[in-house]
A and B are shown apart, each in its own frame.
Chain A
């Protein structure tokens, strides 16, 4: 538990000092003991999401950074993207199988920005309605299969 908070404290300082472009963290949106964060994100200019504002929820278990954080889009604007379900769940391998403790909140934000930026057509995943109806509230409880790393 202690190592998790020490690590998150460092991460919070780092993201406030040098946030990735379009990313910001309002200190008022950091939950008790640093276990929940809300990160604000702007769609990058020159992409399909330019001018849009998104919010990401990060939840950290006591086993962080060995366990991946639970990351979902929340709020009124969930990006329309082939890897983002309408309930905010994101199909991104570093959020489950390929998570490494060397990654961080910043690297997750960068991956999500890059995932959004490389999108060529705004659409929901093909299995969206079935998934949203049947999935767990926690996306980490989904056994994802990653069919396409290029989007």
Chain B
């Protein structure tokens, strides 16, 4: 039955309608609409475009966007599919690797070590190998110069098959770090869940949104410091800024709006040629 059928009683209970199917069909429809409208990783655009997303008289947001513009000139949007933190983080980091061979070499070793750690934690060998192979493949294409521009990298990240493999690997790296440091992280998990349960419910599955704990674990595991700018309706006219780990000097910059992460770029004068559009 078509769940959007007009025959459906307006507010009554329709016993002929399978409610589960209707809910799922509606969720799929929303996902499809989002997927058609928003790329996994969008083009770089002027940060001021953000202000057009809020009413002119919405002072709380407009003031904060102006504040944000003092430090950042560009942004890149990501698709809000629950993977946005991982995808934004990975894209922004890989983009920085285009100009930084020593860091790329370091990171290839980190990824290799993570793979071994995951296998030693009991993750199925061949699925881990599978994800690592794809992940390493992209890093290697950066190393060889086959991927040398942001546009080429963006095309790779918009190929859903590859892009999702990269996200999965980063999710697993995060989970591996949480599980290896179980004692420490168990203090941050609410309720009765163990770290292992938390990982299998909230970290490893695709489309599950990220929280502070994911960010702490991923930045610690990869040693890639990130700066997150929180844009919300809170008081004060200034965005709240958090560096992970605390006190680090960030390599990549993200924008957080409740439930979603996008990528930010510093003012091009400060950041030189890397940020040329």
Q: Residues of A at under 8 Å CB distance from B? A: 2-3, 7, 10-11, 14, 65-66, 94, 97-104, 106-107, 134-136, 141-143
Contacts and interface: CB of A to CB of B under 8 A. Distances in A.
Nearest to A94: B200
B127 A98 contact: no
B200 A101 contact: no
A123 B23 CA distance: 30
A98 B128 CA distance: 17
A99 B205 contact: yes
A134 to B, nearest CB: 7
Contacts of A7: 130
Contact of B204 (A2, A11, A102, A143): A102
A37 to B, nearest CB: 16
A135 B18 CA distance: 7
Contacts, number: 59
Nearest to A67: B206
A101 B131 contact: yes
Contacts of A99: 205
Contacts of A102: 123-124, 127-128, 131, 168, 172, 204
B58 interface: no
B121 to A, nearest CB: 11
Contacts of B21: 136, 141
A97 B123 CA distance: 19
Interface string B101-133: 000000000000000000000011011101100
Interface string B196-216: 000011001110000000000
